[in-house]
Amino acid sequence: MKYWEQRFELLAKIRNPMAHNRCETIPEFEREQMEVFSKETISLIENFKKTIIESL
């Protein structure tokens, strides 16, 4: 559970500034970390989809 909790906490923290075009208020480290988390999530989804398709 810690894995997803960590990611959702950061997402919740930076969502509003990004949605209102205030990215400069987000520390660079947090932006970079969110990019890593986003790429990880996309990769997990792609792997899941691949597994489902192969099992058909």
Give me the domain span that covers residue 22. Answer: 2-54
Give residue 16's pLDDT: 94
Q: Angle at which helices 28-54 and 2-19 pack, to 10 degrees?
A: 120
What averages of pLDDT result for each successive group of 10 residues across the chain (56 residues)? Answer: 90 94 94 95 95 89
Domains in the chain, number? 1
Give residue 45's pLDDT: 96
Q: What is the pTM of this model?
A: 0.78
Give residue 5's pLDDT: 93
Chain mean position to CA 26: 15
Residue 25: CA count within 13 A, CB half-sphere: 10
